[in-house]
Amino acid sequence: MLIVDNISVNYGKMPAIRNLSFSVQEGEFITILGSNGAGKTTTLKAILGLLPSRTGKILFNDVDVTNMSPSERIRMGLSLVPEGRQVFPGLSIEENLELAYFVSHPGKRNRRHYKEMMERMFTLFPKLKERLVQNAGSLSGGEQQMLAIARGLLAEPKLLMLDEPSLGLAPVIIDQVFEILNELNKEGLTVIIVEQDAHRALEASQRGYILETGTVTHGGRSKDLLESQIVQNAYLGQT
Ligand SMILES: Nc1ncnc2c1ncn2[C@@H]1O[C@H](COP(=O)(O)OP(=O)(O)O)[C@@H](O)[C@H]1O
Ligand SMILES: [Mg+2]
């Protein structure tokens, strides 16, 4: 479904990722691990088209999207739940959701479809419905993360990418996030997750890749990575 083939991204003259390649099949749940600064966020941004690649190409469902804008890629079925959630704190939950829907469905002012999508989000995240008129900035970290995921889902993605969704959340909320992601994956959504919580992410996913200083150094089945010495030493230190 996704082929990332030899991409490289610089910030100014500084390379952040270099000759990076990996692939994802339809229906998979993929974990990307790596220490701080390894290039995980840069990789996800490049896949969505928020950062240009100097080399290589990105194929999504057999279409070369390398030169497409982020909004074109979103319309094709790519979506990113960004690092740090990035909800609009001064807008209500409803306004945050409405914006996410209409930005990803330009010209499609179909109220009925919008309402259906909103109902789906309320089924997945009942808390959001209870607090619809509340400012997003007044939500707890966990609720903001649920809102950020709902925003990502309103684009009706085929492939959902999440950048460190568990960061700063209580373990019980992290469990809820992973439960929802597993459920969505079972329904057919393809998922790429970038995570600090290597153990949880590898337990939830089928395959994983390790990123070091801007390139993929290892890849394999999640259950093999969980047992591998390299992963245990670098990412599963305390477990
Ligand atoms: N906006 C930016 N400007 C300059 N350098 C950046 C910027 N964002 C990230 N970098 C650098 O690019 C590298 C990869 O960063 P990033 O993709 O954010 O890593 P990760 O998400 O794995 O922590 C790091 O060396 C980081 O310092
Ligand atoms: Mg990051």
Number of Cβ within 10 Å of residue 119's Cβ equals: 11
- Residues 157, 78: contact at Cβ < 8 Å? yes
Alpha carbon distances (Å) from 161 to 18, 137, 228 = 20, 23, 25
CA 163 / ligand 2 centre spacing (Å): 7
pTM of the model: 0.94
Q: Does some domain include residue 125?
A: no
Q: Does some domain include residue 135?
A: no
Q: Does some domain include residue 114?
A: no
- Per-residue pLDDT reduced to its tens digit, 211-225: 999 999 999 999 999
- Per-residue pLDDT reduced to its tens digit, 86-103: 999 999 999 999 999 988
Local structure of residue 68 (DSSP, 8 states): -
Q: CA-CA distance, 219 to 208, in Å (whole number)?
A: 6
Structural domain boundaries, residue 72 = 2-88+158-235
Q: Does some domain include residue 174?
A: yes
The interaxial angle of helices 93-104 and 111-124, nearest 10 deg, is 130
Verify whether ligand 1 is closer than 6 Å to residue 229 (CB atom): no
Going by alpha carbons, the residue nearest to atom 3 of ligand 1 is 11
How close are the terminal C-alpha atoms of the chain, in Å?
33
Q: Does some domain include residue 226?
A: yes
- Per-residue pLDDT reduced to its tens digit, 156-208: 999 999 999 999 899 999 999 999 999 999 999 999 999 988 999 999 999 99
Q: Does some domain include residue 144?
A: no
106: exposed, middle or buried (Cβ count in 10 Å: 0-12, 13-18, 19+): exposed
- Residues 23, 2: contact at Cβ < 8 Å? yes
pLDDT of residue 238: 47
Count up the domains in the chain and report the number.
1
Given the structure tokens 């790519």, which residue do they identify? 78
CATH number at residue 210: 3.40.50.300
Q: Does some domain include residue 148?
A: no
Tokens in use for 70? 């982020």
CA 10 / ligand 1 centre spacing (Å): 9
Which ligand 1 atom lies nearest to the CA of residue 45? 17
Q: Does some domain include residue 93?
A: no
CA 212 / ligand 2 centre spacing (Å): 13
